[in-house]
């Protein structure tokens, strides 16, 4: 039986957490010699998440230091994937898929059922800190739709009955997937800061970056309308990112000289 009521780390000590992760991170980084240590970024973030239940700002900063990359590279990688949780979350992270194959096979009913049973919506956490809920994009398991991830482990062929059984087992501490550690008590809204003036052109006009999408949400339709009706306003921003900085030179080089990269 899993302890889903284990105390939250009120005395969170990041130095201790870092000391726990560092030997594992060093082993991972050693697998990418010859200047390729950047490739260890994702597995190192996973190690922090395994220990804390989320990827904290301190964890991202230390990862950047260890692999010798700017913090912006680490943050942009962590923010790209729903696999990484950048806010403290519940013991169980529930991520049903909201994309086409799953919707055709009943994901709408499943998502509605989750929301009813949990009393929360997209990117929220229950009051007791047990469940966080996020409707995710295609999880690449369309042949077993509707599907979801629970603490990043796949659950297939969802039905409302299966959801009830799952939630009951999680509350009882008997579910197959173990609960996450929880170094910090999560808030109700698990969301990222809004920067509405900094959105990509396609996302402008969408009310909020945490717009839940899925059921009844029109943001995708509005985005397509915008892209088809107006010229795409490409804005070139200077960057020191090396693949962008020398990208033009690489494209201009003959194919034989590119194979080594």
Tell me, by CB under 6 A, how many residues bind ligand FES: 12
Shortest spacing between CB 115 and ligand FES, in angstroms: 18
- Of 5-13, 134-142, 214-222, 228-236: span binding ligand FES (CB under 6 A): 134-142
Stretch that binds ligand FES, among 84-92, 125-133, 140-148, 197-205 (CB under 6 A): 140-148
Interaction between residue 97 and ligand FES (CB under 6 A):
yes
Among 142, 152, 169, 215, binds ligand FES (CB under 6 A): 142
Interface with ligand FES in residues 197-236 (CB under 6 A): none
Instruction: Indicate the residue among 96 and 186 with the shorter CB distance to ligand FES.
Output: 96
Burial class (CB in 10 A: 0-12, 13-18, 19+), 181: middle
- Of 19, 100, 172, 245, the residue at the interface with ligand FES (CB under 6 A) is 100
Strand stretches in 97-178, DSSP E: 124-125, 131-133, 148-150, 153-155
User: 12 by DSSP, 3-state: which?
Assistant: coil
Task: Please tell me whether residue 150 binds ligand FES under the rule CB under 6 A.
Answer: no
Q: Indicate which single residue of 20, 82, 101, 219 sits in contact with ligand FES (rule: CB under 6 A).
A: 101
Nearer to ligand FES, 145 or 170 (CB): 145
Number of Cβ within a 10 Å radius of residue 176:
11
CA distance 10 to 236: 45
The reply to whether 147 sits near ligand FES by the rule CB under 6 A is yes
Contacts by residues 16-20 (CB-CB < 8 Å, ≥ 24 positions apart): 17/48, 17/51, 17/52, 17/59, 17/183, 18/58, 18/59, 18/62, 20/51
Applying CB under 6 A, which part among 97-105, 127-135, 183-191, 253-261 lies near ligand FES?
97-105
Q: In the block, which residue shows the tokens 């109700």?
A: 188
What DSSP assignment string belongs to 184-235?
A: S---SB--PPP-GGG--GGGTT-S-TT---STT--HHHHHHHHHHHS-----
Q: Which is nearer to ligand FES, 89 or 145 (CB)?
A: 145
**38 or 160: CB nearest ligand FES:** 160
| Residue 99 binding ligand FES, by CB under 6 A | yes
CB of 147 to ligand FES, least distance (A): 5
List the one residue from 28, 41, 141, 177 that touches ligand FES (CB under 6 A). Answer: 141
Q: What is the CA 139 to chain-centroid distance, rounded? A: 12
Residue 8: DSSP 8-state: P
The torsion of the CA quartet 157, 181, 122, 197, rounded to 10 degrees, works out to: -130
Query: Which helix (H) or strand (E) segment is 28 a member of?
Result: helix 14-30
Binding interface with ligand FES (CB under 6 A): 97, 99-102, 138-142, 145, 147
């Amino acid at each position: 039986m899993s302890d889903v009521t284990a105390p939250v780390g009120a005395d969170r000590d990041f130095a201790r957490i870092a000391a726990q992760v560092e030997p594992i991170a060093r082993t991972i980084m050693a697998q990418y010699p010859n200047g390729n240590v950047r490739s260890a970024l994702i597995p190192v973030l996973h190690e922090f998440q395994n220990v804390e239940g989320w990827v904290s700002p301190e964890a991202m900063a230390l990862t950047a230091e260890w692999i010798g990359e700017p913090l912006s590279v680490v943050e942009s990688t962590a923010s790209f994937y729903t696999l990484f949780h950048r806010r403290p979350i519940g013991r169980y992270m529930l991520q049903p898929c909201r994309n086409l194959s799953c919707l055709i096979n009943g994901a709408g009913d499943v998502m509605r059922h989750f929301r009813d049973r949990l009393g929360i919506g997209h990117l929220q956490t229950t009051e007791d800190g047990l469940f966080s809920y996020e409707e995710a994009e295609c999880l690449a398991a369309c042949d077993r739709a509707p599907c979801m991830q629970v603490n990043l482990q796949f659950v297939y062929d969802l039905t409302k009955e299966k959801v009830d059984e799952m939630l009951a087992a999680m509350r009882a501490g008997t579910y197959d997937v173990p609960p996450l550690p929880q170094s910090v008590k999560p808030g109700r809204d698990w969301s990222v800061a809004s920067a509405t003036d900094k959105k990509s052109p396609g996302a402008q006009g969408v009310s909020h970056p945490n717009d839940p999408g899925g059921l009844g949400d029109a943001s995708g339709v509005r985005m397509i309308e915008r892209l088809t009706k107006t010229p795409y306003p490409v804005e070139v921003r200077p960057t020191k990112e090396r693949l962008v900085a020398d990208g033009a030179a690489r494209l201009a080089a003959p194919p034989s000289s590119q194979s080594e990269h």
